[in-house]
């Protein structure tokens, strides 16, 4: 449903046609969660960044691509097609109000799918489990009553975690620009700022602890583009969020 690579997915159809009637409830629920995070982060989280992401993908897929990235003019044209306020969302219809818009749910879909799996397990009577579907969510504690332990690291192949979290009935998601990079310089990550079209490197990793994996996934994506003072501001309005992060320059810190 949420795939950008399957031409028959609901998301691909919406991006292709700009409108879809009678959308699946899962798509509506996920986009409603996207809107909540978009509003809470003043647009730092924005699933309409797909035109920007596609611009970088096209640029770096060409042999001999300019290592400094797309031109300013190309970025300005792509930015003109970004903005979640241009998406009209309803239970009966989803419509793009401007041609050329496109959604990517890669910054939140894994979290949403994790939550759906948790719902299925709970409905089946599972009371203690740690679910990992790209993001992590705990159902209860371990069977002996101790918390689940989740290791955090800036890269998936790190020899050891830089921090360990104890969680019960919570979710954890981690984002890092190093998760995927365009080009050989390592300068361009995969998390695009919807305001500037750039890919800033502020943190080695950003990990969010939240009640649901959907929230943890979305906020970890947004916080990768925000400075610590603005992250703290969001956390003050959402006391159920915790943030464990490692800045590019500086020591690990905890917010929220």
If one counts the domains in the chain, the total is: 1
The verdict on residue 44 lying in a domain is no
Q: Render pLDDT for 29-47 as a digit per residue (tens, 0 to 9).
A: 999 999 999 999 999 999 9
pLDDT of residue 111: 96
Say whether pLDDT at 221 is over 90. Answer: yes
The verdict on residue 251 lying in a domain is yes
The verdict on residue 222 lying in a domain is yes
- Give the pTM: 0.93
Domain containing 203 equals: 136-255
The verdict on residue 117 lying in a domain is no
The verdict on residue 163 lying in a domain is yes
Q: Render pLDDT for 58-88 as a digit per residue (tens, 0 to 9).
A: 998 998 889 889 999 999 999 999 999 999 9
Contacts of residue 4, Cβ cutoff 8 Å, sequence gap at least 6: 11, 12, 15, 50, 104, 106
- CATH number for the domain spanning 142: value is 3.10.520.10
Q: Render pLDDT for 182-191 as a digit per residue (tens, 0 to 9).
A: 777 767 778 8
């Amino acid at each position: 449903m949420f795939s950008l690579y399957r031409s028959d997915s609901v998301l691909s159809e919406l991006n292709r046609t700009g409108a879809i009637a009678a959308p699946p409830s899962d798509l509506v629920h996920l986009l409603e969660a996207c809107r909540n995070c978009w509003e809470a982060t003043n647009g730092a989280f924005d699933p309409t960044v797909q035109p920007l992401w596609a611009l970088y993908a096209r640029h770096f897929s060409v042999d001999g691509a300019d290592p400094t990235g797309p031109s300013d003019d190309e970025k300005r044209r792509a930015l003109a097609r970004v903005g979640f306020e241009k998406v009209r969302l309803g239970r009966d219809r989803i419509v793009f109000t401007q041609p050329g818009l496109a959604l990517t749910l890669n910054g939140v879909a894994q979290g949403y799918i994790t939550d759906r799996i948790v719902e299925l397990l709970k409905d089946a009577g599972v009371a203690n489990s740690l679910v990992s579907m790209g993001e992590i969510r705990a159902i209860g504690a371990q069977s002996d009553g101790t918390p689940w332990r989740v290791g955090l690291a800036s890269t998936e192949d790190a020899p050891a975690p830089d921090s360990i979290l104890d969680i019960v009935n919570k979710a954890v998601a981690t984002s890092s620009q190093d998760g995927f990079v365009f080009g050989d310089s390592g300068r361009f990550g995969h998390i695009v700022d919807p305001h500037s079209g750039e890919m800033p490197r502020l943190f080695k990793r950003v990990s969010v602890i939240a009640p649901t994996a959907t929230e943890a996934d979305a906020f970890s994506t947004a916080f990768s583009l925000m400075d610590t003072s603005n992250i703290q501001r969001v956390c003050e309005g959402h006391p159920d969020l915790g943030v464990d992060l490692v800045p590019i320059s500086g020591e690990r810190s905890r917010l929220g």
